[in-house]
Structure 1
Amino acid sequence: MKLIDKLIKTKTQQKLILGTLIVIIFLLYFMNSWSYDLWSPDEPRYAEVARETALNGNWIIPQLNQRTYYEKPPLYFNLVALSGLLIGRFSVTSVRLPGIIIAVLLLAFLTYFVRKEIDFLTGILSFIILATTINFFWLAMKVNLDIPLLFCTTLASLLLFRNRDNYQSKRWTTYLAFLLMGLGTLIKSPISILPVLTIIVYLFLHKNIYRLKKFPWLGSFFFLFLPGIIWLYLAYHIAGYSYLKTAVFDQLIGYSTGGQGHPQPFYYYLINFPLQALPWSLFLIPGFYYSYKVRSNLPDLLNYAIVSFLVIFLVFSLVGSKRGVYLMQLYPFAAIIIAWFFKLHFNGKIKNNKSIIIPTLIMAILFLFLGIYLYLQGTDLLTDQFQINLQQQSGFVFFYHSLVYLFIITSLILITITLFRSAQFNFSFIVLFGVILLIMLKTIFLPTLNQVKSERYLANDLAAAYTKQAEIGLWGSLNNDSGFVFYTGIYYDYIFENENEVKYFLAKPGKQILIINDVDKWEESSFKDIYQQYFRLKQYQVGSNKMLLLTEN
């Protein structure tokens, strides 16, 4: 600990440490991002919407397959489109780069605020914990809306907290916080206004609610609604009321209130969050315990992180539609709580090492069971999921063995290091595990799985068979099967929902090419035997689905 104190004594040293961490994490996230394709359903869809934005100038009304795309607002697609234009081409790297940059910026801003409110060590630990949380770095390396939304809400929340003493004198940064929440709405969802609720609850619980009397509400709500008003005005001018009804009321508001989406029981996140936030989530319980134990001496930001965590967890548990990615909003606050807990151990203020040892042993047992389960059932799981012959796929054998060894060896090392009763040793190894997992993910797991997860192989064959006289049909879902469009630039002429439409399409004169997103549809169709002799069928494995490409003989 004395060595750490010496290393972070001056601001120059602190900047050097933070700058080094930023570069390392960026390189880790960016590394090998070109070696595996966009994976359905979300990545290809979002990338294609961005490509069409740049190609056709659809900056206000997003489009997919040259049709209006109602499900999400345009802001993040515009950022990805700009990335593709600046780089000069739309590739898996160019469309993933904005998310990686935003994730690293979020880590940097989090460290800045924690250093200001607590200390630099807690800030750096928060950076490291969040950066090596499995679900965070998994999403940071993908084309997705949740990391950009998290950037907006976290920065807004921290700004509102920083200004808590006098919102009036700090009104311009308060306006910035509300502007960020407004931009969050244009990225994904009105759930971006959660920071307003968390700061109100925090001030109420700490008997400072009177500070809201001088809050610049009028100007704040002006900046909150400004991005949305501009977009709605332009969208109405271009597409009319019908677009606003579908895109805003049916999609944005419907999903945000849980009226649509993914219904799950109230307790869903109690199981889902600890698993997705590994390897650090197991230290949240002792973090909360010691926060309560020394509650009279807690830093204000830690108090705010605890309130924010509990409020957000409760809100999302009450909403009917639930997905693990929704709880990304918790991750920065969880990182602060866990970082403060470890710092107390590093400083020797927590003498009882059980609060480190017990979560570490639980993690070790979890990884050991997972490694043993994969050893016993892994081959069957891979064979059943992807319909592959492992004896003919050496890459998958190596992938399978690597997972088994990673979890079993990690569990044994975790059990061993608990004997040393050193918080620094535990923390360092868990960080090392996260980094090793990230590197293996980028260099072994994702490139190997790409063989049975990517749509590119089908897309290449589609492009080879395509002529300008051909008509392209999809018997499937545009939302789930848009990767072919991104890879080839060839749009679907028709999207079919039932076999009668497909039968009519195949019977038409001219050249037809058909993509079927589930081989069972073809096998169960009433016209399979009629057209089998006229079309060449090729089967592809895309995730758990067997897909077909039908081209004329």
Structure 2
Amino acid sequence: MKNKYIYLIWFIALLPAMILRDYTPNNELRYLSIVDEALQNGNVFTFTNQGEIYADKPPLHFWLMMVGKLILGEHHIWYYSLLSFIPALIILITMSKWIRREEETVNVVADNRIMIDNNSRNFITAQLMLMTTGLFAGAALIVRMDMLMNMFIVLSLYSFYQMYSGVNMTRNSWLFPIFVFLALFSKGPLGLLIPFVSTIMFLIYKKKLSDYKKYWGWKSFLIILLGSVVWFTGVYIEGGNDYLNNLLFHQTVGRGIDSFHHKEPVYYYLISIWYTLAPWSLLVLGLFAASIVKKRINSTLEQFFAVIILSTFVMLSLISSKLAIYPLPIVPFLIFLTVLQFNKFDMQNVWIKLTIALPAVIFILALPGIVYVSSMEGMQYLADRFIYAGAVVLTLTGILVIYFIYLKRDSVRSINSLALGFLLSVFLIGWSMPKLNNQLGWGNMCEKAKELSEEYKINDYWVYKISRSENMDVYLGKDIIKAEKEDLLNENNENKLLMLRTKDIKNDPDIHSLVLNKVQYQFGENVIVILN
């Protein structure tokens, strides 16, 4: 199968979700609100959320979102999804080219045609595994800066390795620091720290630390410094000292040493890595550990990948602020290093086959599992024909994979089948998004609220205990009023439109009495109530 078809299959699999899903309230809707405020205020380097300083993220991703809003005239989920998918695709292409070029160089020297054929097959497997790794696939869809930063990190490390190998020294000596700065400009300090720590640790491992000036010399530091000076100057001109201090100290030092946000214990990633790498966790982590113990990581490229993985993992574990998505930069290297080890291990080994068979068994249980769960109270929204179709595909895929592993004795074909079945299931389930959107976001609820506002001649939108509801202004076109319980019980509640959670109606007798016999519209876990 040609690379271009692999990429097309991946794009088609994700397309329904890209087009049909709603924005998630926690982050995506907030980013849209930030973009709206920046365009309204004419800001370029500084951002606000509901008028409050938002220095959490650098400007690059927001600029791309702002360009889309200006060109398209409004927010479109497909456009914002492409801002993650295209970087993910570039990562996939870069990693594939990187490995292929390295392996072809080795094989030309070895003149081993069988090895070339096996590697060609393994390249496809590596691509399919990365496409279907839970964290990577999810990050390729969501509206976040992580995949954009990850792309520049991969490109910077690729440029470094090219220089280390003596390839296009002049060109890569410019590209390397440019990519590092763009990674920094996409998400923040990790964009700089990951390339720096990875490359320095690699040079130490190879006992070539004295060569660091070839990569981190005056040219690299000057490019990164000049880019940062332009950025910080723009921040100072627009936001003054308060914003600049927030950006440089509160967000950077505060998150790194004693985080005020997302603080987790040092072992957090030792737990999260198992589900972020699903369904390949057992295979990837098992082979990686075995490769280290058995000393199978021999080539320079394999050693570079291993150093990137270990140094980044340790660094992220030591940083106070932690989220499951932060290890995203090591995922491509873990997947491709794993596949590079296929020719060094017996893929018919009982333990290796078990790491593939266990996810297949989980796939087999998908159909009975979804039938059972969708019959439970509050989960009926899962009883959708597209979700059932996706579950059928997963179950059949699991059966097929077991057949290939134990009857055909072909582990690589089993991996490919598992990945392709997963992509087909994602494609089918993606068509259920219109039905799932009430559970995912607030788009439908806010559209109905606008209709009811016109129908009942209500000017204000009241919201009670819905987290981050201030970002509903993206849909409603105006700010909401956050109501306290006392406001609802003590004020004149005639002619009010109230949005609140279903559980607050059930659990609070006062709120239940307030909305009893009122016009209500259910949207997932939330309700619109007309108080008149």
Q: TM-score, normalised by structure 1?
A: 0.81
Q: 2:9 aligned with 1:30, yes or no?
A: no
Task: Provide the rounded CA distance (Å) in 2 between the counterparts of 1:527 and 1:431.
Answer: 48
Task: Provide the rounded CA distance (Å) in 2 between the counterparts of 1:415 and 1:20.
Answer: 26
Matches within 5 A, 1:258-277: 259-277=259-277
Taking a change above 3 Å as real, the CA distance of residues 181 and 477 of structure 1, as seen in their structure-2 partners, is farther
SS of residue matched to 2:520: strand
1:305–1:333 contact (8 Å) kept in structure 2: yes
Q: 2:35 aligned with 1:50, yes or no?
A: yes
Deviates more, 1:42-51 or 1:252-261: 252-261
Superimposed CA distance per residue, residues 434-480 of structure 1 (whole angstroms, 9 cap, x where no aligned partner): 32232133123x343223323112211222244798344444467x3
2:383 to 386, 393, 396: 396
One-letter amino acid of the counterpart of residue 504, structure 2: D
Superimposed CA distance per residue, residues 318-343 of structure 1 (whole angstroms, 9 cap, x where no aligned partner): 3333322112122110121122134x
1:186 matched residue in structure 2: 185
2:5 to 12, 20, 30: 20
One-letter amino acid of the counterpart of residue 434, structure 1: F
Q: 2:83 aligned with 1:91, yes or no?
A: no
- Structure 2: runs of 5 or more not aligned: 105-118
One-letter amino acid of the counterpart of residue 97, structure 1: L
2:48 to 63, 75, 78: 63
Taking a change above 3 Å as real, the CA distance of residues 379 and 422 of structure 1, as seen in their structure-2 partners, is same
1:474–1:514 contact (8 Å) kept in structure 2: yes
Give, in angstroms, the shift of residue 243 of structure 1. 2.0
One-letter amino acid of the counterpart of residue 426, structure 1: S
Task: Provide the rounded CA distance (Å) in 2 between the counterparts of 1:114 and 1:299.
Answer: 12
Q: 2:390 aligned with 1:411, yes or no?
A: no
1:475–1:515 contact (8 Å) kept in structure 2: yes
Task: Provide the rounded CA distance (Å) in 1 between the counterparts of 2:506 and 2:235.
Answer: 40
Give, in angstroms, the shift of residue 489 of structure 1. 2.5
1:4 matched residue in structure 2: none
Q: 2:61 aligned with 1:113, yes or no?
A: no
1:460 matched residue in structure 2: 447
Task: Provide the rounded CA distance (Å) in 1 between the counterparts of 2:306 and 2:297.
Answer: 14
Q: TM-score, normalised by structure 2?
A: 0.83
One-letter amino acid of the counterpart of residue 443, structure 2: R
1:358 to 354, 360, 374: 354
Superimposed CA distance per residue, residues 383-422 of structure 1 (whole angstroms, 9 cap, x where no aligned partner): 3xxx35x3xx6x6254664465455434333322222111
2:115 matched residue in structure 1: none
1:14 matched residue in structure 2: none
SS of residue matched to 2:46: coil
Task: Provide the rounded CA distance (Å) in 1 between the counterparts of 2:154 and 2:327.
Answer: 12
Task: Provide the rounded CA distance (Å) in 1 between the counterparts of 2:485 and 2:244.
Answer: 32
Task: Provide the rounded CA distance (Å) in 1 between the counterparts of 2:206 and 2:32.
Answer: 45
2:459 matched residue in structure 1: 470
One-letter amino acid of the counterpart of residue 141, structure 2: M
Matches within 5 A, 1:479-498: 480-481=468-469, 484-492=472-480, 494-495=481-482, 498=484
1:520 matched residue in structure 2: 504
1:54–1:82 contact (8 Å) kept in structure 2: no
Taking a change above 3 Å as real, the CA distance of residues 284 and 515 of structure 1, as seen in their structure-2 partners, is same
2:284 matched residue in structure 1: 284
Task: Provide the rounded CA distance (Å) in 1 between the counterparts of 2:474 and 2:134.
Answer: 28
Task: Provide the rounded CA distance (Å) in 1 between the counterparts of 2:347 and 2:17.
Answer: 43
One-letter amino acid of the counterpart of residue 428, structure 2: M
2:128 matched residue in structure 1: 128
SS of residue matched to 2:522: strand
Deviates more, 1:518-527 or 1:114-123: 518-527
Superimposed CA distance per residue, residues 186-232 of structure 1 (whole angstroms, 9 cap, x where no aligned partner): 32231112111011111211222221144443332232244433222
Give, in angstroms, the shift of residue 123 of structure 1. 4.8
Task: Provide the rounded CA distance (Å) in 1 between the counterparts of 2:505 and 2:175.
Answer: 52
Percent identity, please. 19
Matches within 5 A, 1:499-514: 499-500=485-486, 506-507=491-492, 513-514=497-498
- Structure 1: runs of 5 or more not aligned: 1-6, 8-16
Superimposed CA distance per residue, residues 64-102 of structure 1 (whole angstroms, 9 cap, x where no aligned partner): 345543433322111122123333432222222222222
Task: Provide the rounded CA distance (Å) in 1 between the counterparts of 2:58 and 2:495.
Answer: 37
SS of residue matched to 2:143: coil
Taking a change above 3 Å as real, the CA distance of residues 425 and 351 of structure 1, as seen in their structure-2 partners, is closer
1:77 to 62, 70, 75: 62
Taking a change above 3 Å as real, the CA distance of residues 32 and 399 of structure 1, as seen in their structure-2 partners, is closer
One-letter amino acid of the counterpart of residue 223, structure 1: I
2:520 matched residue in structure 1: 538
Task: Provide the rounded CA distance (Å) in 2 between the counterparts of 1:522 and 1:57.
Answer: 44
Taking a change above 3 Å as real, the CA distance of residues 466 and 175 of structure 1, as seen in their structure-2 partners, is farther
1:547 matched residue in structure 2: 526
Superimposed CA distance per residue, residues 271-303 of structure 1 (whole angstroms, 9 cap, x where no aligned partner): 322222122222224532563477477332221
Matches within 5 A, 1:225-374: 225-257=225-257, 259-288=259-288, 291-292=291-292, 295=295, 298-342=298-342, 344=343, 350=346, 352-354=348-350, 356-368=352-364, 374=370
One-letter amino acid of the counterpart of residue 484, structure 1: M
Task: Provide the rounded CA distance (Å) in 2 between the counterparts of 1:369 and 1:203.
Answer: 47
Task: Provide the rounded CA distance (Å) in 1 between the counterparts of 2:394 and 2:7.
Answer: 28
Taking a change above 3 Å as real, the CA distance of residues 262 and 96 of structure 1, as seen in their structure-2 partners, is same
Give, in angstroms, the shift of residue 495 of structure 1. 4.1
1:517–1:548 contact (8 Å) kept in structure 2: yes
1:471–1:511 contact (8 Å) kept in structure 2: no
SS of residue matched to 1:324: coil
One-letter amino acid of the counterpart of residue 470, structure 1: N
One-letter amino acid of the counterpart of residue 44, structure 1: L
Taking a change above 3 Å as real, the CA distance of residues 235 and 507 of structure 1, as seen in their structure-2 partners, is farther
Taking a change above 3 Å as real, the CA distance of residues 474 and 375 of structure 1, as seen in their structure-2 partners, is closer
1:170 matched residue in structure 2: 169
Task: Provide the rounded CA distance (Å) in 2 between the counterparts of 1:281 and 1:96.
Answer: 26
1:456–1:483 contact (8 Å) kept in structure 2: no
Deviates more, 1:83-92 or 1:234-243: 83-92
SS of residue matched to 1:326: coil
Taking a change above 3 Å as real, the CA distance of residues 230 and 536 of structure 1, as seen in their structure-2 partners, is farther
One-letter amino acid of the counterpart of residue 330, structure 2: L
SS of residue matched to 1:163: helix
Task: Provide the rounded CA distance (Å) in 2 between the counterparts of 1:91 and 1:75.
Answer: 18
Could you say what the CA RMSD is over the residues aligned between the two structures, in angstroms?
A: 3.5
1:13 matched residue in structure 2: none
